[in-house]
């Protein structure tokens, strides 16, 4: 009796591979979020790398310098010393970024930066992981100790005497240099997103593996061709993840640049999402290797048949 050879199910294989590529992008994003955004030690490491960027350092220095000038001017005006403020503020403003960058080069500032990011990130996770709705407070990174360090540098450089004021550090009020990480009205949405991301990585990875196995099972009649599809899907996963990163980065930079420096925002996004790049390139390389292996095996089989 004649038996029909099993069908290769090309449409089903294509659907499985397309789904595998798309779910793979979700898996990469989830791995990145859990590893970089939702792990305090990893975030502190990322924040340290942020300071290695000239654009980010300049933006932070500008922020600290402006805060010092504003605090000085506000204190003098409140004390009824407007004439002193008119004399003190202009020369201080001219040197604000230079002085701040000098402070940022010190080990003390780097320790303050790491500690501020660690505390701010822990506060963020505590709020994001709460089951109850968020309160009215925002989550911040407090750089006030760094601002006081900047004020002390002004004193050490003799600028206090030059400017005609004393003990500039006492003009820095508590919480004077705080960077908002997440506003109160954004917290509830962020909580919902984190609850999903926390538990997404393992199911996404399992789904990707299952879809690839399904594609290979359906294509077992022409296994080399099925592996060819797997290689293409893996490479597509990496390419799609890089494309998604670029598109999301464009949106994030546009949002952040409304309140800050575009180049600094772009540099920060590039550093903070470097794990996505590494995972994406890994998927592309793995896909290329599978693709090459499938082509070599297919060619060898054709030679043996002929």
pLDDT for 135-157, tens place per residue? 545 566 777 777 777 777 666 55
Q: pLDDT tens digits for 4-47?
A: 555 567 899 999 999 999 999 999 999 999 988 889 899 889 98
Mean pLDDT value across residues 212-241: 92
**Is the dihedral angle over the CA atoms 11, 12, 17, 18 positive or is it negative?**
positive
> Could you tell me which of 164, 168, 150, 154 has the C-alpha nearest to residue 112?
150
Predicted local distance difference test score (pLDDT) of residue 104: 80
Q: How far apart are CA 129 and CA 125, in angstroms?
A: 6
- CA–CA gap between residue 27 and residue 41 (Å, rounded): 21
**pTM of the full predicted structure?**
0.79
Write down the mean pLDDT value for the chain. Answer: 80
Query: 3-class DSSP state for residue 22?
Result: helix
* Conformational region of residue 6, where left means phi above 0, alpha means psi within -120 to 50, and beta covers everything else: beta
| pLDDT score at 47 | 86
Place 245 in a pLDDT band, splitting at 50, 70 and 90. Answer: very high
Average pLDDT over residues 108-134: 77
Instruction: Catalogue the E-assigned strands of the chain.
Output: 139-142, 178-182
CB 136 within 8 A of CB 70: no
Instruction: Give the pLDDT of residue 2.
Output: 44
Distances (CA, A) of 213 to 6, 16, 216, 229, 298: 17, 9, 5, 12, 19
């Amino acid at each position: 009796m004649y038996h029909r050879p099993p069908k290769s199910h090309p449409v089903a294989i294509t659907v499985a591979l397309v789904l595998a590529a798309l779910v793979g992008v979700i898996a990469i994003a989830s791995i990145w979020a859990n590893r970089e955004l939702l792990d305090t030690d990893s975030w502190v490491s990322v924040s340290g790398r942020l300071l290695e960027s000239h654009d980010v350092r300049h933006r932070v220095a500008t922020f600290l310098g402006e805060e010092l000038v504003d605090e000085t001017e506000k204190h003098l005006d409140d004390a009824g010393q407007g004439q002193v403020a008119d004399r003190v503020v202009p020369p201080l403003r001219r040197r604000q970024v230079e002085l701040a960058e000098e402070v940022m080069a010190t080990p003390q500032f780097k320790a303050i930066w790491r500690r501020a990011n660690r505390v701010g990130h822990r506060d963020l996770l505590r709020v994001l992981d709460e089951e109850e709705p968020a309160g009215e407070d925002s989550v911040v990174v407090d750089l006030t100790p760094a601002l006081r360090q900047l004020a002390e540098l002004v004193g050490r450089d003799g600028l206090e005497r030059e400017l005609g004021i004393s003990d500039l550090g006492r003009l820095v009020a508590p919480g004077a240099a705080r960077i908002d990480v997440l506003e109160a009205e954004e917290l509830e949405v962020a909580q919902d997103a984190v609850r999903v991301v926390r538990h997404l990585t393992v199911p996404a990875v399992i789904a990707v593996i299952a879809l690839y196995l399904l594609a290979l099972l359906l294509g077992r009649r022409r296994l080399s061709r099925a592996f060819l599809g797997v290689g293409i899907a893996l490479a597509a996963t990496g390419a799609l993840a890089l494309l998604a990163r670029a598109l999301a980065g464009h949106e994030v930079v546009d949002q952040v640049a409304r309140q800050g420096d575009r180049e600094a925002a772009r540099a920060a996004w590039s550093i903070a999402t470097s794990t996505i790049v590494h995972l994406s390139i890994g998927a592309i390389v793995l896909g290329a290797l599978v693709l090459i292996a499938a082509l070599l095996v297919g060619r060898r089989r054709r030679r043996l048949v002929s």
